[in-house]
Structure 1
Amino acid sequence: MPFVENTKVYKMNRIERNIIIGSLLGDGSLALYGRSKNAYYREHGCEKQIPYRKWKAEKLKNLDFKILTNCKNPKLCSPSSNIYTKLHNLFYKNGKKVLTPENILLLDHPIGLACLYMDDGSLVIDSSKRKNGSIYIFPRIYIYTLNFSKDENIILKNHIAKKFNIYTKLKKRKDGKHYILEINKKNEIIKFINTVNPFVEQIPCMHYKMKLRERFEEKRLTLINQGYKNINNWSENITENKYSKDEENFIIISKQAGISDRKIASHLGRNYWGIVDKVRRLKLQNRI
């Protein structure tokens, strides 16, 4: 059968672009070879993550993304297009994926950060024994950016701080290119979860990456079964992300008056992206 180059013209919006960029920093890749003049996106995953790939395919359906299940591992892929060739030119150098101060600017919406986390992130509940015999439980969030160099991780670290106001730190490892990003401060962990959760919560198979209370309780019960008794209650002090009726009314009135999401967030002392999502939800409920 003769090779036929895809000629359909695609145009991606901001949400679609961020899903692709966040995934490109994680499990996704861009391929450009053979007789094709243009690159295409591809992403492999295990069967347990098929619902996650289906979520991506649905979000990217206007770009004709499909899931192929007739191969060893389910694959999410796009048609070839010049929009991916342009991205390939930005994110690949000598056939290897790279991060630069220029291309990282394309990650500018929390849905992209959520995709990076769901692809290559994890919530770890750790513990340490104190001198008085008590056990301290604490969380860490890791983003396994081992495919990127130290300098590239610093670029990503600085961008996440500047764009999303979330502060990570470099953590050295023996594998890969030796560096990943870590969040270990309570306020930053909560801020990160509040930023990405509106998107992660749409995918049940990914909920375990968000459920701090449940994961803490599992760890606590494990330690109790091991004979430990004096265990801290970190999880009981987690700040809830719920909005009071007064806050909801303030948001509704403010939006009706044309006040920006950023000013509303500043007035309420809330995360900007959290307000963006709350406004979206209120609109879906026809309350704005």
Structure 2
Amino acid sequence: MKINQEQESALIGMILGDAYVQKTGSRNARLRLEQQDAHREYLIWKTHLLKGLFQGKPTMLKRIHPKTQKTYSYVRQQSNASPYLGKLRALFYSNGKKQIPEKLYQWLVSDIGFAVWFYDDGYYYVRDRSLYLYLGTVSRKEATIAKDVLRKRFNLQSTIADKGKKGFALYFPASERNKVRDILTKYRVPIMAYKIPD
């Protein structure tokens, strides 16, 4: 499977964000993307970035929310299985749980990876013009790796915020807003425009 550096960075951004790399054998894995139905356009945009990986169209599924008991619709697209994705599974799930790998710097090369990651897990707070990139239940060491990579690769300055049960997040002050906006507008997806700082 051949992909270029920008596609690989986009793929890394997806894995850091909402994507799941599912083991399919001793060496192979596949990529699973899911989005709420309202964000179908975004899921399709992601699959077009990695055309060689995906076949067919997204599948519409329904789920019952465990707390609210409300039914909601979402779309799913799964890639073909490959040893390359098996290698990424070993990198990001070495202990069975998704993690931020120590070698992230050598994988997250293009800023499209940050854009995808932010579209998945980032939030822009209009009131104080600050931004957060939620990392989930990673360790502080993993959060530090993410912070350092974004600073070294893309000159994005952030601090680590402990969000309690939500885990760690990277906090970008208002002074970083223009830099984040410049990256996101390069890879603008209309349905996700609400995440782009003004």
TM superposition score category, shorter chain reference: 0.7 to 0.9
What one-letter code is carried by the residue in structure 2 that aligns with 1:27?
Answer: D
Please tell me the root mean square deviation across aligned C-alpha atoms, in Å.
1.7
Rounded Cα–Cα distance in structure 2 between residues aligned with 1:173 and 1:61? 36
Rounded Cα–Cα distance in structure 2 between residues aligned with 1:68 and 1:185? 37
1:76 shift after superposition: 2.2
Can you list the C-alpha shifts for 1:257-283, whole angstroms capped at 9, x where unaligned? xxxxxxxxxxxxxxxxxxxxxxxxxxx
Residue pair 1:123, 1:140 contacting (<8 A) in 2 also: yes
1:184 shift after superposition: 1.1
What one-letter code is carried by the residue in structure 2 that aligns with 1:182?
Answer: Y
Residue pair 2:61, 2:76 contacting (<8 A) in 1 also: yes
Aligned to 1:181: 170
**Aligned to 1:64, which of 54, 58, 66?**
54
Give 3-state SS (helix, strand or coil) of 1:43's partner: strand
1:171–1:16: structure 2 CA closer, same or farther, 3 Å change rule? same
Can you list the C-alpha shifts for 1:219-269, whole angstroms capped at 9, x where unaligned? xxxxxxxxxxxxxxxxxxxxxxxxxxxxxxxxxxxxxxxxxxxxxxxxxxx
Percent identity reads 28
Aligned to 1:151: 141
| Structure with more strand by fraction | 2
**Which moved further from structure 2: 141-150 or 23-32?**
141-150
Can you list the C-alpha shifts for 1:40-59, whole angstroms capped at 9, x where unaligned? 00021101110001111112
Can you list the C-alpha shifts for 1:23-50, whole angstroms capped at 9, x where unaligned? 10010110104x5751000021101110
Flag structure 2 segments of 5+ consecutive residues without an equivalent: 63-73
Aligned to 1:40: 30
Runs of 4+ in 1 over 3 A off after TM superposition: none
TM-score normalised over the length of structure 2 = 0.88
| Structure with more helix by fraction | 1
1:156–1:57: structure 2 CA closer, same or farther, 3 Å change rule? same
Aligned to 1:197: 185
Aligned to 1:91: 92
What one-letter code is carried by the residue in structure 1 that aligns with 2:82?
Answer: S
Aligned to 1:108: 109
1:120 shift after superposition: 0.4
Residue pair 1:57, 1:65 contacting (<8 A) in 2 also: no
Rounded Cα–Cα distance in structure 2 between residues aligned with 1:103 and 1:122? 22
Higher relative contact order (Cα pairs below 8 Å, separated by 6+ residues): 2
TM-score normalised over the length of structure 1 = 0.61
Residue pair 1:11, 1:83 contacting (<8 A) in 2 also: no
What one-letter code is carried by the residue in structure 1 that aligns with 2:13?
Answer: G
Rounded Cα–Cα distance in structure 1 between residues aligned with 2:193 and 2:178? 15
What one-letter code is carried by the residue in structure 1 that aligns with 2:186?
Answer: P
Flag structure 1 segments of 5+ consecutive residues without an equivalent: 1-9, 127-137, 213-288
| Rg larger in structure | 1
Rounded Cα–Cα distance in structure 2 between residues aligned with 1:179 and 1:94? 19
Rounded Cα–Cα distance in structure 2 between residues aligned with 1:67 and 1:151? 38
Q: Determine whether 1:18 maps to 2:9.
A: yes
Q: Determine whether 1:77 maps to 2:78.
A: yes
Rounded Cα–Cα distance in structure 2 between residues aligned with 1:66 and 1:197? 28
Give 3-state SS (helix, strand or coil) of 2:183's partner: helix
1:64 shift after superposition: 2.8
What one-letter code is carried by the residue in structure 2 that aligns with 1:156?
Answer: A
Residue pair 1:12, 1:63 contacting (<8 A) in 2 also: no
What one-letter code is carried by the residue in structure 1 that aligns with 2:122?
Answer: G
1:70–1:194: structure 2 CA closer, same or farther, 3 Å change rule? closer
